[in-house]
Amino acid sequence: MRLIKLALVIFGSASLLWPQAAQLKTTDGVLERYQQALGGVDAIKKVQSLTARGEVESTGMQGKATFVYYAKPFKNLLKVTRPDGNEIISGFDGSTSWSITPKGRSIDTDTALEAVRRDADLQYPLHQPDYFQKLEFAGVTDFEGRPCYWLHGTTHWGKDNNQFYDVQTGLLAGYRFQSDDSSFGTAVALFQEYKNFGGPLVATKRISRSGEDTQSFTLISITYEPLPESMFELPPDIRALLK
């Protein structure tokens, strides 16, 4: 279930009228178009908190789990209820990534802290180059059956990362990347079915594949009401581990 800690919400909007002749040839051009597709810089900055609810299907799990995800900039809390009723809770308070499952409690020391912070960055589309040693335009390629602009980079923590943006719409279509933990396995994330919940458009279907394992997240609702800071404080069981 550790893939759940990946950012669940990617913002985007369709730009169906983008001139086909204006083919992009630089990293900045692709990212700037993406920001425009999201509704512009100001629209992205307005998202200061969110609550997302939805369902999860996963390899080896019978039935669907449900989740609720709370987030503020660089802080998050995720609660997943499995079909058998067991609950998995994970979170990040800005400095510590943790989880509590029926098998016990733990602190994530296997994933680079900057990777965890990136996944908790609500305004990631404005900050993407900040997380990379390099992020270069690699041309146009097929990704999952769609022509996409390909950005190829290496993160500050030394992992290979590929981003794919649909040539027609400018939307993020997906990633292919090395896992951010100590393994060097390759994972793929797909972003589909963008909808509007009263803010920037959101990819309501996210599919993550790693080896033979697949997780599919479906967002059902998103709200943007303010959330209290206390929601993201470390649980007592986790504070006890830090001691």
- Please list, residue by residue across 233-243, b when 16 or more beta carbons sit within 10 angstroms of its beta carbon and e when fewer do: ebeeebeeeee
Task: Answer yes or no: is pLDDT of 153 > 80.
Answer: yes
Task: Answer yes or no: is pLDDT of 11 > 50.
Answer: no
pLDDT digits (tens, 9 = 90+) for 124-134: 999 999 999 99
* Cβ atoms of residues 97 and 108 within 8 Å: yes
Q: What is the pLDDT of residue 19?
A: 44
Residue 230 sits in a domain of what CATH number? 2.50.20.10
Q: Does the CA dihedral 10-15-16-21 come out positive or negative? A: negative
Contacts of 124 (CB under 8 A, 6+ apart): 7, 10, 118
* Cβ atoms of residues 43 and 200 within 8 Å: yes
Q: What is the pLDDT of residue 4?
A: 41
pLDDT digits (tens, 9 = 90+) for 161-209: 999 999 999 999 999 999 998 887 899 999 999 888 888 888 999 999 9
Token representation of residue 202: 């959101």
pLDDT digits (tens, 9 = 90+) for 29-88: 999 999 989 888 998 999 999 999 999 999 988 899 999 999 999 999 999 999 999 999
Which residue range forms the structural domain that includes residue 132? 2-242
* Cβ atoms of residues 116 and 97 within 8 Å: yes
CA 229 – CA 237 distance, rounded (Å): 19
| C-alpha R_g of the chain | 18
Provide the total of helices (H) and of strands (E) in the chain, helices listed first: 5, 13
Task: Answer yes or no: is pLDDT of 20 > 50.
Answer: no
Write down the pTM of the prediction. 0.87
Report the domain count for the chain.
Answer: 1
